[in-house]
Structure 1
Amino acid sequence: MTERADPAASAVLETSKAGTPVLSLRSATLAYGDRVLWKNLNLDVKPGEFLAVLGSNGTGKTSLLRAILGQQQLSSGSIELLGEPVRRGHRDIGYIPQQRLIEQGTPLRARDLVTLGINGHRWGLPVTGRKTRQQVDRVLASVGATSYANVPVATLSGGEQQRIRVGQAIASNPALLLCDEPLSSLDLNHQRVVSDLIDERRRAIGSAVVFVTHDINPVLDKVDRVLYLAGGRFRIGTPDEVLRSEVLSYMYNTPIEVIRTRGRVAVLGAPEGYGVHDHLEHHIDDRGQR
C-alpha cells in the first residue's frame, strides 16, 4: 500500500473513515440465464491497492467493471464505493478503456479530452476558467503530454492517445481507477509507459486500481493482489498465491502449468485469452501444452 502525498487527492477519499475500503463487493453474483460468470464474490479493495483481474475470455472481467460503473446490474449481491452504493457516473471513479485509435478528423485536442475529465459531467456548455486550465496543464505534464497538448488527438500515435486517456481518467483525482485492458495493442515500450503512469498516480494520491488484463507481466511488479476468474469460480490473493499450477488446474478443471522465469509468468494449457502469458509459449509447442 502507498501513502497519499498529493494535496489534490479526492475529497471523498481524504475524508473517508480510516479502514473504509474504496470498493466493497458482498455476495456479488452475475449470471446470464443459466450461465454464471461469478457467484458470491466478496472483495474489499483498499486505498492505494493495485488489484489485477485475470481470466479467460468470457469470464466476466469487463462485466465486473461495468457493474462497478453502475452500467450492469448484478444478479444478486451489492457493490459499494466508499461505503455508498455504486451509481452511474460517479465522480470518484476514473475509467481507462482499451486502446482504440480515434477517427481521423475528430477535432478534439489533447487538452480538450483532459478537460472533459474535469467538467464533462456538467450540464450546458463547459466553461473553462483559469483554475481548470491550470489543472489540465498539471495533468498533461504528469502524463508527459505537454508537448502535444494543443494537437488534435486523432493525429497522435496509439501510445500518445492512451497517455491522454490516462490523463482524462485521473483528471478528477478519483478514489478508484478502473482499467479495461489499457495496454492492449500497445508495443512493449508504451505498455511500460502507460502502466508506470497509472502506478505513479496511484502512489501520488492513493487511488485504488482495478486493472483488467490478459497479461500480468507488464504490471507484475506493481500488483498487490490478483482476482482470477475462470469457469464460474474465482480466487483472490497475491500473485504467488493465485498463479500456481494446482490452483489454476482446479479452476479450469484441466492440467495447467505455471512457469516463472526472469521475473515473468507463463501459463501453459489454459484456454485462449486466459489472463497471463509470455513469449515462452511460442517455444514450447513440442510439449503440446499451448
Structure 2
Amino acid sequence: RMFDTDLPIRVRDLVGLSIEHGTMSRRRPRRSTIDAALAEVGASGLADRRVGTLSGGQQQLVRQAQAMATDPELLLCDEPLLSLDLSAQRAAVELLDRRRREYGTAVIFVTHSINPVLAVTDRVLYLGPDGHVTGAVDEVMTGPVLSRLYGTDVDVAEVNGRMVVV
C-alpha cells in the first residue's frame, strides 16, 4: 500500500519510528542506526525525502529498512518484492538470505511470484485453489503437485539451472 502523497514525514523519521524508543533516556534513535538500516537496503539517498513522494519501489525499500532496523529474530515478509525491478528484487532476496545465514534470522516470505526466491527457500507452503501442500522445494514444486493444487496441467521446467513454473 502506497503512502499518501501529502504525508509530511521524511524517510529518516519513518524508519526511526520503527526503532524502540526509551521513555526517559535515548528518546530518539541514533541517527547512525537509522542510516545503517537505510544503507543495508540501498536507500541512503532517500533519507531526507518525504515518503509520499517516493515511487512504489522506493517505498518498498523504506519498508525493508524499517524491518531491518531492529535486527529482528523473525522477518514476516508480505510481498516484499512488489514494485521492485528485477535488479532490486535480486538485491532484496540476497539481503534476506544473508540475514538468514549470518544472523540466524527466520524469514517467512509470502509471495505470488515464487521464482525469485526458489534458490534460497528451505520449505514451501503452497496455497492453491484446490488445497495446499507443505514440504521441501523439490517435493512441492513439481508438475503433478501443482497440477493437483490448480486442477489443471502445470509444468515445472528447469531453464539455465533455474526452476520455472509454467
Question: 2: distance between equivalents of 1:186 and 1:240?
Answer: 27
Query: Which position in structure 2 is the counterpart of 1:266?
Result: 165
Instruction: Please tell me the residue identity of whatever aligns with 1:127.
Output: R
Q: 2:27 matched to which residue of 1?
A: 127
1:178 shift after superposition:
0.8
Distance in 2, Cα, partners of 1:115 & 1:204: 24
- Partner of 2:125, secondary structure, is strand
User: Distance between the aligned counterparts of 1:224 and 1:215, measured in 2?
Assistant: 16
Structure 2 segments unaligned to the other structure (5+ residues): none
Aligned residue identity for 1:106: L
Letter in 2 for 1:115: G
- Structure 1 stretch displaced more, 252-261 or 210-219: 252-261
Structure with greater strand share of residues: 1
Contact 2:75 2:108 in 1 (8 A): yes
**1-structure distance, mates of 2:164, 2:69:** 33
Matches within 5 A, 1:192-231: 192-231=90-129
Alignment check: 8 A CA contact 2:57 2:83 kept: no
RMSD: 2.4
Contact 2:38 2:47 in 1 (8 A): yes
Is 2:74 the partner of 1:176?
A: yes
- The 5-angstrom pairing of residues 1-290 of structure 1 reads 100-119=1-20, 127-129=27-29, 132-231=30-129, 233-262=131-160, 263-267=162-166
Do the aligned partners of 1:259 and 1:265 also contact (CA within 8 Å) in 2?
yes
User: Which of the two has greater helix per residue?
Assistant: 2
Structure 1 Cα separation of the partners of residues 12 and 53 of structure 2: 14
**Deviation of the 1:133 alpha carbon:** 2.6
Name the SS for the 1:255 alignment partner.
coil
Q: How does the TM-score come out when normalised to structure 2?
A: 0.84
Q: Deviations over 1:38-81 (max 9, x none)?
A: xxxxxxxxxxxxxxxxxxxxxxxxxxxxxxxxxxxxxxxxxxxx
Count of residue correspondences:
164
Shift of 1:232: 5.9
How far apart are residue 201 of structure 1 and its match?
2.5
SS at match of 2:27: coil
TM-score, length-scaled by structure 1: 0.51
Task: Tell me by how many angstroms 1:218 deviates.
Answer: 1.3
Quote the Cα distance in structure 2 between the aligned partners of 1:194 and 1:106. Answer: 26
C-alpha change, 1:222 and 1:158, in structure 2 (3 Å) is same
Q: Which runs of 4+ in 1 moved over 4 A?
A: none
Instruction: Give 1:243 shift.
Output: 0.8
The structure with the larger Rg is 1
- Secondary structure at 1:118's aligned position in 2? coil
